[in-house]
């Protein structure tokens, strides 16, 4: 196998997940104290998701990245495991899309304690989690034990840490105040948030006193951005060791790390700055709980067509939607390629992602050479980490997704795979149709038709300007002359640069003509694969619009 076993230190370059794994295993001391690192029998990587929002595919980024680091630890010969935690004590903040207005009365209650609006599960949280769990494990290769914070508190699993934290209120406040403009008052701040015994809400309770054991609280209105959680006015007492409440986030994260002996965890890049919840918890964890802060896996967030994914924008993609249109590996590729680059996804990128993965696979099996050895190493390692199964011993050359999608359009409904496979052979895109290739073609046809069902990709009827028409004529000429994909690719670039258009505008125009989309695959190869005649036909049609 080309991607050799990773022997750290000997390599001059390392894939980023291996680097983080190295940081995890090489730690000698705590960050904030002089304590020496304890011996870890096993390294735990934690991933989680809040259940108060929509569990869309962006939530998988934390899990996929955490899993990849766990795999790096395992590949380095360490014992390691991945755990998944539902942050399900978060209050409901607004009436979610599709939920009756009467749910306003539940705003401010933990999502685990709110009835299922659809009536099929025990709670609102369970309804969403069950849907998420149907596909979550399909995006990772490692088993994940799943925990619920609500259950953890109820079962007293956090009690040892709650006790320590409640004794250290002064220290917890000091740690936070290092980074605060308006300091907290240790007499008024408490790490515990009780659930109101009378109305069941958690956001409305204000701690008014603490006797070293129990907290006193009053239930009062709490204003979110759009909605107000109505307090019931109840005044009562709450024993934190009885599990009816939760720790504040600054204290809870620390407790989670100590409770599960977490060695690494993902966090959005906004947590990188000093004074963020990550570092505040890191310090609390080390100074108060005596457990070393985990190594962070920082990353950029996923946006979709330039926007944050959200139910109110209506651009939510669920993990199940993804699996209809692309293999899980492609989403892994999107998240694992370069964690600190912002990912702006649109479905139009799919063909490109397929091509990227195909290319990495070629590099992995030595079918494609990259000039830079570091790039080649990274491509091979990324391919291993992106793959959910151990890569097959023998390589199967793939036919570009966009080509399969094009061929499938002309195929009869019945026997599509056979039809497309035959075309692939006729066009000389594969020497022979092996069972593996046939299976791959079949999968790609299924993904392509799911995409077509989602949005008919009709080529655009845009009108070209005269200078644009001139460029298209040059392209037609080049395509008719040149049958070699690489040469055609460089000719296309020459035409693009000579035409007086900005490169992005040029490619957008071509992709619009071919797919009615702003993005698409690498053109040289695509045009040769799809059949030059057909492409020329589309371009000529565009000239006549």
Contact string (CB under 5 A) for Zn ion, positions 59-98, x = contact: ----------------------------------------
Choose the stretch contacting Zn ion; rule: CB under 5 A; options: 49-57, 144-152, 219-227, 434-442.
Answer: 219-227
Which of 49, 82, 149, 199 binds Zn ion (CB under 5 A)? It is 199
| Residue indicated by tokens 């980490």 | 385
Choose the stretch contacting Zn ion; rule: CB under 5 A; options: 154-162, 228-236, 262-270, 462-470.
Answer: 228-236
Question: Quick one: 116 or 174, whose CB is closer to Zn ion?
Answer: 116
Which of 196, 258, 464, 476 binds Zn ion (CB under 5 A)? It is 196
Question: Quick one: 99 or 186, whose CB is closer to Zn ion?
Answer: 99
Choose the stretch contacting Zn ion; rule: CB under 5 A; options: 58-66, 226-234, 309-317, 401-409.
Answer: 226-234
Which of 219, 295, 405, 441 binds Zn ion (CB under 5 A)? It is 219
Q: How far is the CB of 221 from Zn ion (least distance, A)?
A: 10
Q: How far is the CB of 91 from Zn ion (least distance, A)?
A: 12
Question: Quick one: 196 or 408, whose CB is closer to Zn ion?
Answer: 196
Question: Quick one: 68 or 195, whose CB is closer to Zn ion?
Answer: 195
Question: Quick one: 96 or 160, whose CB is closer to Zn ion?
Answer: 96
Structure tokens at 193: 């948030």
Size of the site for Zn ion (CB under 5 A): 11
Structure tokens at 141: 């290769």
CB atoms within 10 A of CB 220: 16
CA–CA separation, 366 vs 377, rounded Å?
11
Which of 94, 146, 234, 487 binds Zn ion (CB under 5 A)? It is 234
Question: Quick one: 118 or 179, whose CB is closer to Zn ion?
Answer: 118
Question: Quick one: 111 or 488, whose CB is closer to Zn ion?
Answer: 111
Q: How far is the CB of 247 from Zn ion (least distance, A)?
A: 19
Which of 33, 198, 312, 410 binds Zn ion (CB under 5 A)? It is 198
Contact string (CB under 5 A) for Zn ion, positions 468-507, x = contact: ----------------------------------------
Question: Comparing C-alpha atoms, which of 466, 513, 464, 517 is closest to residue 492?
Answer: 513
Q: How far is the CB of 234 from Zn ion (least distance, A)?
A: 4
Question: Comparing C-alpha atoms, which of 539, 536, 543 is closest to residue 463?
Answer: 543
Q: What angle do CA 440, 442, 448 make, to 5 degrees?
A: 100
Say how far residue 263 (Cα) sits from the centre of its chain.
Answer: 20
Structure tokens at 295: 């190594």
Choose the stretch contacting Zn ion; rule: CB under 5 A; options: 53-61, 232-240, 380-388, 477-485.
Answer: 232-240
Question: Comparing C-alpha atoms, which of 85, 86, 80 is closest to residue 53?
Answer: 86
Per CB under 5 A, contacts with Zn ion among 437-466 are none
CA–CA separation, 462 vs 512, rounded Å?
8
Contact indicator for 53, 224 with CB cutoff of 8 Å? no
Question: Quick one: 108 or 499, whose CB is closer to Zn ion?
Answer: 108
Q: How far is the CB of 120 from Zn ion (least distance, A)?
A: 3
Structure tokens at 364: 């992995």
Does residue number 232 form part of the binding site for Zn ion (CB under 5 A)?
A: yes
Q: What angle do CA 496, 497, 499 make, to 5 degrees?
A: 70
Q: Calculate the alpha carbon distances from 205 to 190, 202, 224, 253 in Å.
A: 12, 6, 14, 20
Question: Comparing C-alpha atoms, which of 230, 12, 197 is closest to residue 107?
Answer: 230
What stretch of H or E contains 215?
Answer: strand 215-219
Bridge partners (DSSP) listed for residue 205: 219
Pairing of strands 215-219, 235-238: antiparallel
Q: How far is the CB of 117 from Zn ion (least distance, A)?
A: 8
- Residue ranges with strand state E in 419-524: none
Contact indicator for 506, 499 with CB cutoff of 8 Å? yes
Helix (H, G, I), strand (E, B) or coil at 27: coil
Question: Quick one: 58 or 194, whose CB is closer to Zn ion?
Answer: 194
3-state SS string for 144-176: EEEEEHHHHHHCCCCHHHHHHHHHCHHHHHHHH
Q: How far is the CB of 185 from Zn ion (least distance, A)?
A: 24
DSSP-assigned letter for residue 181 = S
Question: Quick one: 114 or 219, whose CB is closer to Zn ion?
Answer: 219
Choose the stretch contacting Zn ion; rule: CB under 5 A; options: 7-15, 233-241, 342-350, 476-484.
Answer: 233-241
Choose the stretch contacting Zn ion; rule: CB under 5 A; options: 191-199, 206-214, 428-436, 466-474.
Answer: 191-199
Contact string (CB under 5 A) for Zn ion, positions 106-145, x = contact: ----------x-x-xx-----x------------------
Q: How far is the CB of 98 from Zn ion (least distance, A)?
A: 12
Q: How far is the CB of 144 from Zn ion (least distance, A)?
A: 22
CA–CA separation, 48 vs 73, rounded Å?
19
Q: How far is the CB of 127 from Zn ion (least distance, A)?
A: 3
Instruction: Taking the CA atoms of 364, 369, 373 and 379 in sequence, report the sign of the dihedral they define.
Output: negative
Choose the stretch contacting Zn ion; rule: CB under 5 A; options: 70-78, 176-184, 224-232, 392-400.
Answer: 224-232
Question: Comparing C-alpha atoms, which of 388, 361, 15 is closest to residue 6?
Answer: 15
Question: Quick one: 201 or 332, whose CB is closer to Zn ion?
Answer: 201
Chain residues that interact with Zn ion, rule: CB under 5 A: 116, 118, 120-121, 127, 196, 198-199, 219, 232, 234
């Amino acid at each position: 196998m080309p991607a050799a076993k990773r022997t750290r230190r000997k390599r001059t370059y390392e894939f980023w997940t291996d680097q983080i794994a190295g940081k995890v295993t090489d730690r000698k001391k705590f960050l904030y104290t002089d304590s020496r690192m304890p011996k870890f029998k096993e390294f735990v990587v934690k991933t989680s998701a809040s259940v108060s929002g929509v569990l869309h595919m962006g939530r998988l980024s934390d899990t996929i990245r955490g899993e990849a680091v766990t795999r790096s630890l395992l590949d380095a010969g360490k014992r390691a495991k991945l755990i998944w935690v539902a942050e399900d004590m978060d209050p409901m903040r607004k009436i979610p899309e599709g939920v009756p207005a009467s749910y306003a009365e539940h705003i401010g209650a933990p999502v685990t304690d709110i009835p299922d609006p659809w009536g099929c599960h025990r709670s609102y949280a369970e309804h969403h989690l069950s849907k998420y769990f149907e596909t979550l494990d399909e995006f990772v290769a490692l088993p994940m034990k799943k925990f619920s914070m609500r259950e953890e508190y109820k079962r007293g699993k956090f009690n040892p840490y709650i006790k320590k934290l409640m004794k250290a209120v002064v220290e917890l406040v000091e740690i936070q105040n290092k980074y605060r403009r308006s300091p907290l008052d240790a007499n008024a701040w408490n790490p515990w948030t009780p659930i109101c015994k009378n109305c069941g809400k958690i956001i409305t309770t204000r701690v008014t006193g603490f006797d070293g054991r129990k907290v006193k609280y009053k239930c009062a209105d709490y204003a979110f951005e759009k909605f107000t959680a109505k307090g019931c006015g109840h005044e009562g007492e709450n024993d934190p060791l009885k599990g009816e409440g939760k720790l504040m986030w600054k204290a809870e994260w620390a407790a989670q790390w100590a409770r599960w002996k977490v060695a690494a965890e993902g966090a959005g890049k906004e947590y990188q700055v000093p004074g963020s919840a990550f570092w505040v918890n890191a310090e609390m964890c080390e100074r108060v709980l005596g457990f070393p802060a985990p190594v962070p896996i920082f990353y950029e967030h996923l946006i979709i067509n330039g926007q944050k994914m959200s139910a109110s924008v209506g651009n939510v993609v669920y993990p199940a939607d993804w699996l209809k249109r692309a293999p899980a590996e492609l989403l892994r590729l999107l998240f694992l390629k370069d964690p600190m680059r912002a990912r702006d996804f649109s479905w139009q990128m799919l063909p490109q992602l397929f091509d990227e993965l195909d290319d990495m696979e070629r590099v992995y099996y030595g079918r494609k050479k990259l000039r830079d050895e570091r790039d080649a190493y990274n491509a091979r390692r990324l391919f291993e980490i992106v793959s959910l199964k151990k890569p097959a011993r023998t390589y199967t050359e793939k036919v570009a997704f966009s080509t399969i999608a094009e061929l499938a359009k002309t195929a009869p409904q019945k026997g599509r795979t056979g039809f497309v496979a035959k075309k692939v052979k006729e066009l000389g895109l594969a020497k022979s149709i092996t069972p593996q290739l046939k299976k791959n073609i079949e999968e790609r046809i299924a993904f392509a038709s799911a995409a077509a069902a989602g949005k008919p990709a009709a080529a655009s009827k845009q009108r070209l300007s005269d200078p644009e028409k001139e460029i298209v004529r040059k392209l037609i000429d080049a395509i008719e002359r040149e049958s070699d994909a690489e040469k055609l690719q460089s000719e296309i670039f020459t035409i693009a640069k000579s035409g007086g258009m900005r490169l992005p505008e040029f490619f957008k125009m071509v992709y619009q003509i071919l797919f009615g989309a702003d993005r698409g695959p690498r053109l040289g190869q695509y045009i040769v694969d799809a059949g030059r005649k057909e492409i020329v036909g589309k371009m000529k049609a565009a000239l006549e619009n």
